[in-house]
Amino acid sequence: MKTFLSTELWNEIILSTITIILSYFIYKYLDKFIQKSLKAFGKDVKAPKTIRFFIGLIVSVFAILVLLSIWNIDLLPYITGLGISGIIIGLALQEPLTNFVSGILVMTTRKLFEGEVVDVNGISGIVDQIKINHSYLKTFDGKLVLIPNKNVWSGTVTKFWPGPVRRVTMDVGVSYDCNLETVIQLLHKAIDEEALVVKDGVSNFIAFKQFGSSSIDFTVYFWVERNSYFDAVNALAMRIKKIFDEHNIEIPFTQIDIHTK
């Protein structure tokens, strides 16, 4: 009898080990299969970390069910015997379950996906990963913020780069002594000559902003590509300054006139 029990236990251990190893290889195979399939259709994997996480989750659930079957563990008596404790546990799990369902909705509706620059309820950064309960957002100062998926789903999400280009604004002030027609022409010249400013299919323009306390202010509206965002802004600012210097256009600083008796 002892030998029989030992053999049965040994078989359960072997089957459990085989199940775990097979689950790992199935997980790796599915991950590669999905990536190859998307590439075959000419599409890039938009959320590789999130996809791997959910593949691992699904495979793990099936592996646990198989392991329970191997060890002849029936969870029904335990679940039935929970009674009032089950209600308490159910209430405790209400929040995680809400976040889980919200996370699936966020993924399937593409409200968020990895790598895009977004603002979620006032928090700005780059989406790193979407998990069961939280979406991971890397802020521009290096922090990792975990936002509950229900807040993402029900909240306001602003996407800074819904397309390959984005419009940027730059305020420029000039002296009251300047000829405004000349100023506008020079600003247009700076935009036209700057290679990093996008010009095809978009509208770049200059608009009057205000008569300021020390300057007449204009707003320059121009479009840039995502991969050259900061370079384009810096390049245009330097080009405007250079052109203004060449034509003796003054960019004044704040001035205060004091009259004494």
Query: Each residue of 166-188: pLDDT tens digit?
Result: 999 999 999 999 999 999 999 99
Domain 1-107 has CATH 1.10.287: yes
- State how far the Cα of 251 lies from the Cα of 143, in Å rounded to an integer: 37
**Three-class DSSP category at 198:** strand
Alpha-carbon distance values, 135 to 109, 232, 252 (Å): 14, 31, 46
Neighbours of 148 (CB within 10 A): 18
Q: Which regions of the chain does DSSP assign to beta strands (E)?
A: 117-120, 123-130, 134-138, 144-148, 157-159, 165-174, 205-211, 216-225
Pick one of 3.30.930.10, 3.40.50.2300, 2.30.30.60, 3.30.365.10 as the CATH number of 110-159: 2.30.30.60
**Three-class DSSP category at 253:** coil
Domain boundaries, the chain: 1-107, 110-159, 165-247
CATH architecture of 165-247: 2-Layer Sandwich (3.30)
Query: Each residue of 32-71: pLDDT tens digit?
Result: 888 788 777 766 666 677 778 778 888 888 888 888 888 8
Contact 150, 99 (CB under 8 A): yes
Task: Tell whether the torsion through CA atoms of 35, 39, 41 and 46 is positive or negative.
Answer: positive
Band (pLDDT 50/70/90 cuts) for residue 1 is very low
- State how far the Cα of 109 lies from the Cα of 113, in Å rounded to an integer: 10
Mutual orientation of helices 180-193 and 229-246 as an angle, nearest 10°?
A: 140
Query: Each residue of 73-115: pLDDT tens digit?
Result: 876 676 666 555 555 555 555 788 888 888 888 888 889 988 8
Q: What pairing do the DSSP bridges indicate for beta strands 216-225 and 165-174? A: antiparallel
Task: Kindly report the pTM of this predicted structure.
Answer: 0.65
